[in-house]
Amino acid sequence: MNKMKFRIINVALYLFIASTYVSCDTDIENMEIQTLHTYDEQYYADLREFRKMDREVSFAYYEAWSPVEGVSGTKYPSSWGERIMGLPDSIDIVNLWMGIPTADTHPLAYQDMKFCQEKKGIRFVMHADASHYRHKFTVDGVDYDMGDNSNVSDETMTAYAKWIANQVLEPGLDGVDVDYEGWNATNITRLTIELAKYFGPQGQYPEKLLIIDYFNTVPPLETIPYCDYFVQQAYSNQTTLRQPTGFPPEKMIYCESFGVFYADGGKLLDYARWKPATGERKGGAGVFFLGRNYYSSSGIPYNEFRQAIQIMNPAVR
């Protein structure tokens, strides 16, 4: 297994050194991106084995695959920076920020996602919202409206969990990341317990991830047994990482924000290096808005994100 720690991070780098080249004249013509390098089946088998190792994982919210917010329709980008196939091979978990690609709604992104899941072992999770109570959804032919926190009965909460599970299972995603930035502790616990019937270590589909992400308010301790990971977000220059009291270090992923406060990386590399005071390993590190790191000032796509992966999982030479 150690021999696999490994070619992946270094070899995957070659996928992206090629830039987009188009001929240029006065006539309008279709743009074509350069074909990615292809690898043999052994490479992909090694990559999938890499996922099984007990190690720190990489995590990212990735938005560039979809049309910008408020724009309907699908997207056929001419840059690998807007393709799921263009992500680093060694990324572990991708939060599908901005929606879920399906064969009908986003055929190219869906095709990319399926290849990355099946060949590379990358896991893709739904971004579910627990930041307000205005959700409207339909489950088993029944319409639900959470309103303004006045209609979160047990029946409604159970239905919301089932709706989320359906969103994950129908396109074949690898789990859900619940964004906890507004609900009270009681309701996020209720939802987590319902979702845990489907996903996470106690679920019907234990191979599918149950994650909670948060900013200021740490999730209740009661949610720990049901979740695979907890993602601590960052929207500003947070110089000190905190291990929440009572939370297992190996379940904690610490995220940095790309492109808002920093040109490249911010504190990401520090996050990758950071170890809990207990000496145990953390769950991993990652970023919000990974797409912004594609155009790194180094000239290497996703350069800082790749460096973070390398820090957490040094390649054996």
Segments making up each domain of the chain, as ranges: 2-312
pLDDT at 30 over 80: no
C-beta separation of 176 from 211 below 8 A: yes
- CATH fold group of domain 2-312: TIM Barrel (3.20.20)
Token digits of residue 264:
């490249």
Residue 165 is predicted with a pLDDT of 98
Give helix then strand counts, H and E, for the chain. Answer: 7, 10
Q: Residue 150 pLDDT > 80, yes or no?
A: no
User: Using an 8 Å Cβ cutoff, are 125 and 96 in contact?
Assistant: yes
- The arithmetic mean of pLDDT across residues 112-133, rounded, is 96
Residue-wise pLDDT for 238-271, tens only, equals: 556 778 999 999 999 999 887 655 555 678 898 9
Mean pLDDT for 114-124 is: 97
pLDDT digits (tens, 9 = 90+) for 69-104: 656 678 888 799 999 999 999 999 999 988 999 999
Q: Give me the phi and psi of 56, to 5 degrees please.
A: -80, 135
Q: How many CB atoms sit inside 10 A of residue 206's CB?
A: 14
For a pLDDT cut of 90, what percent of the chain falls above it?
Answer: 64
Quote the mean pLDDT of the chain: 85
pLDDT band with cut points at 50, 70 and 90 for residue 316: low
Q: How confident is the model at residue 37 (pLDDT cuts 50, 70, 90)?
A: low
pTM for the full predicted model:
0.86
So what's the pLDDT on residue 297? Answer: 80
Q: Given this model, what pLDDT does residue 27 score?
A: 41
Instruction: Compute the Cα dihedral for 285, 289, 295, 298 and give only its sign.
Output: negative
Q: How far apart are CA 83 and CA 76, in angstroms?
A: 9
